[in-house]
Amino acid sequence: MTPQSTGLANPSVKELTTTTSKSGCGCTGNSASSEMEESILERIAKHPCYSEEAHHHYARMHVAVAPACNIQCNYCNRKYDCANESRPGVVSELLTPEEAAHKVLVVASKIPQMTVLGIAGPGDPLANPEKTFRTFELIADKAPDIKLCLSTNGLMLPEYIDRIKQLNIDHVTITLNTVDPEIGAQIYSWVHYKRKRYKGVEAARILLEKQLEGLQALKEADILCKVNSVMIPGINDQHLVEVNKMIRQNGAFLHNIMPLISAPEHGTHFGLTGQRGPTSTELKTVQDNCSGNMKMMRHCRQCRADAVGLLGEDRSQEFTKDKFMEEAPEYDLTNRQQVQEGIEKFRAELKAAKEQIALDNNTLNAGAVKEKTKILVAVATKGGGLVNQHFGHAKEFQVYEVDGSEVKYVGHRKVDHFCQGGYGEKATMENIIQAISDCKAVLVSKIGESPKEKLDNAGIKVVESYDVIEKVALEFHQEFTQES
């Protein structure tokens, strides 16, 4: 664990926000969360997927105990494995429930801000019920402060709802890509249900029926349900608004629309047939079209089935089987609680600082016609809600939409990090510029002269700062609107 990632060694937020000019300051707002019931806020407060704010501070881990699957999605090939690859279904080594429990305890002691254990594959957890539930049982027994999370295609969900409830699994994700079996027939090759294999529209209809039944059952059991939908241009992209409506009516808590990943080298049906994924703009448009209806998740990183760490980082290679089996698990609940208390203290400071920024912004804009020009800015961050990363170290940029009074997280862009030196540097820089070309600025803690000049020439301003993301973004917005 790095002190930065706990927030404990970060400069005090108060210090940061009072040492810089107040001009242009404003607020970030998540009106959805202010309306959310207190009890629900508590349940998601330390879940990095269910709470966008939490994902800056808390980590999750997955254990790969579920190899088999009962359906075949056209975007999945579990045979392909690459340690540098990050996408669902990909895993380096399978674990038994006992090995998985051992790994969780080792990680829990090394990353005390790891608060959630998810089982998400590499196949479908409910197509491997004994391994999945045995793992959850072991964790619930040995590490009771860790929240349990399950991700499934939903086919067997109605069957296992009682077991899920019994084990106190409070977060369940269903991947539901369509509510129209005709569209489903283009997404699924087959469905294996009750010892029989189905194809085409019939297969998609069975899957949908079970998914909706499962969604209802989760609602009745008061389990928070997130729906993941893979956006496939030309197949379900226009249809996702309808999916959004349907899942909302059936009690889903959160909707996560993810882009199709379909590189030919992954060997998936879509990869081999040339089906493309959506562009960042296409994805954002669909997410925006749904966002009036319910809470949307936009910070998903499409994790591997053995991912470890904050959502934006992948530490799975630090915890390979040969390494973690060598270590005696030292689960220290007191230490975990202390670290998490430190994070909560930092979050409270951050919240207060943001409220102050909002107040200052309101005072500044009192009587003035509110400027609503919306712009995007890219942020290099190691977490903690701060602009705190060197441009050259960023493996991804978080993208925020700023309108002068609100700063909204809208996504992230993965890039090859620039500080690799030598060969390929030019191509990397071009790749970064391409990835954030729709952003008016990039907010970083530091940057070298050469990349700064290149970004400037590409029309992307560089802002160097070490402060709360919302504050830097609003200051830039003000500068930008005054200049244009």
Cβ neighbors of 427 (< 8 A, separation 6 or more) are none
Give kind and range of the element (H or E) at residue 230: strand 224-231
Whose tokens are 């996560």? That residue is: 256
| Tokens standing for residue 123 | 């196949």
| Site stretch for ligand CLF (CB under 6 A), options 25-33, 113-121, 243-251, 312-320 | 113-121
Residue 183 to residue 160: CA distance in whole angstroms: 27
Residue (of 386, 335, 390) closest to 10 by Cα position: 386
Strands (E), 393-473: 396-402, 407-414, 441-444, 461-464, 467-468
The least CB distance from residue 69 to ligand SF4, in Å, is 3
Neighbours of 218 (CB within 10 A): 25
Nearer to ligand CLF, 20 or 86 (CB): 86
Q: Under the criterion CB under 6 A, does residue 336 sit at the interface with ligand CLF? A: no
Residue (of 53, 10, 16, 27) closest to 468 by Cα position: 16
HSE (side-chain half, CA atoms, 13 Å) at 14? 5
# residues contacting ligand CLF (CB under 6 A): 17
Q: How far is CA 9 from CA 308, 314, 346, 359, 398, in A?
A: 22, 22, 10, 27, 22
| Site stretch for ligand CLF (CB under 6 A), options 70-78, 182-190, 296-304, 366-374 | 296-304
The least CB distance from residue 66 to ligand CLF, in Å, is 11
Q: Which of 76, 215, 240, 380 binds ligand SF4 (CB under 6 A)?
A: 76
Q: Which of 69, 100, 150, 358 binds ligand SF4 (CB under 6 A)?
A: 69
The least CB distance from residue 258 to ligand SF4, in Å, is 11
Pick what 232 binds: ligand CLF, ligand SF4, none; C-beta below 5 to 8 Å, kind-dependent.
none
Residue 46 to residue 348: CA distance in whole angstroms: 13
The four Cα atoms 307, 309, 311, 312 give a dihedral, to 10 degrees, of -110
Q: Under the criterion CB under 6 A, does residue 154 sit at the interface with ligand SF4? A: no
Pick what 102 binds: ligand SF4, ligand CLF, none; C-beta below 5 to 8 Å, kind-dependent.
none
The four Cα atoms 191, 193, 195, 199 give a dihedral, to 10 degrees, of -30
Q: Which residue has its beta carbon closest to ligand CLF? A: 118
**Type of residue at 412:** H
Q: Under the criterion CB under 6 A, does residue 211 sit at the interface with ligand SF4? A: no
Nearer to ligand SF4, 118 or 121 (CB): 121
Residue 60 to residue 116: CA distance in whole angstroms: 5
Pick what 72 binds: ligand CLF, ligand SF4, none; C-beta below 5 to 8 Å, kind-dependent.
ligand SF4
Pick what 123 binds: ligand SF4, ligand CLF, none; C-beta below 5 to 8 Å, kind-dependent.
ligand SF4
Is 184:207 a contact under the CB 8 Å cutoff?
Answer: yes
Q: Which of 7, 26, 89, 214 binds ligand SF4 (CB under 6 A)?
A: 89
Is 44:53 a contact under the CB 8 Å cutoff?
Answer: no
Q: Under the criterion CB under 6 A, does residue 260 sit at the interface with ligand CLF? A: no
Q: Under the criterion CB under 6 A, does residue 62 sit at the interface with ligand CLF? A: yes
| Tokens standing for residue 315 | 């530490």
Residue 116 to residue 136: CA distance in whole angstroms: 11
Cβ neighbors of 476 (< 8 A, separation 6 or more) are 24, 377, 402, 440, 441, 443, 461, 463
Q: Under the criterion CB under 6 A, does residue 176 sit at the interface with ligand SF4? A: no
The least CB distance from residue 56 to ligand CLF, in Å, is 13
Q: Which of 76, 100, 120, 443 binds ligand CLF (CB under 6 A)?
A: 120
Nearer to ligand SF4, 123 or 385 (CB): 123
Nearer to ligand CLF, 64 or 311 (CB): 311
Q: Under the criterion CB under 6 A, does residue 118 sit at the interface with ligand SF4? A: no
Q: Under the criterion CB under 6 A, does residue 49 sit at the interface with ligand CLF? A: yes
Q: Which of 105, 116, 296, 407 binds ligand CLF (CB under 6 A)?
A: 116
Q: Which of 109, 302, 381, 405 binds ligand CLF (CB under 6 A)?
A: 302
Q: Which of 16, 63, 65, 71 binds ligand SF4 (CB under 6 A)?
A: 71
The least CB distance from residue 151 to ligand SF4, in Å, is 8
| Tokens standing for residue 74 | 């056209």
Strands 467-468 and 196-199, by their bridges, are unpaired
Nearer to ligand CLF, 311 or 443 (CB): 311
Cβ neighbors of 367 (< 8 A, separation 6 or more) are none
**Type of residue at 359:** L
The residues binding ligand CLF (CB under 6 A) are 49, 60, 62, 88, 116, 118, 120, 149, 151, 171, 173, 256, 300-303, 311
The residues binding ligand SF4 (CB under 6 A) are 69, 71-73, 76, 88-89, 121, 123-124, 153
